[in-house]
Amino acid sequence: MVLVRGLLGDVLRRKRLRQGRTLREVSADARVSLGYLSEVERGQKEASSELLAAICMALDVPLSTIFAEVSQDLAREEALVLAHPSIEPAEVVASAA
């Protein structure tokens, strides 16, 4: 099963790393605890719409851009699962790498 919170966390992490920023910098700018932001990036916590808006503002990225990337990643994951129904998504991704 593909978890949207995991895909969302991956997209947020990619955006942050592309900017060369640390968790500490983004958490301070978003006024979110470092630990909580880390858990969101790792897909361990569901982010509220308010939290997502704050993170996006801190990253200077529109929320719609984040959702568009999550949607693309989700479509890719679903296609892999449909192509290999007996394999878990993480296994398909790992074998494709």
The 10s digit of each residue's pLDDT in 39-60 is 999 999 999 999 999 999 999 9
Contacts of 24 (CB under 8 A, 6+ apart): 34
pLDDT, position 43:
95
With cut-offs at 50, 70 and 90, classify the pLDDT of residue 88. low
Query: What is the domain-level CATH number for residue 15?
Result: 1.10.260.40
Rounded distance, CA 15 to CA 10, Å?
9
pLDDT(91) > 70? no
Contacts of 49 (CB under 8 A, 6+ apart): none
Q: Does the model's pTM come out above 0.85?
A: no
pLDDT, position 2:
74
Domain that holds residue 32: 4-96
pLDDT, position 85:
66
Structure tokens at 73: 């990643």
The domain tally of the chain equals 1
Residues in the chain: 97
pLDDT(96) > 70? no
pLDDT(35) > 90? yes
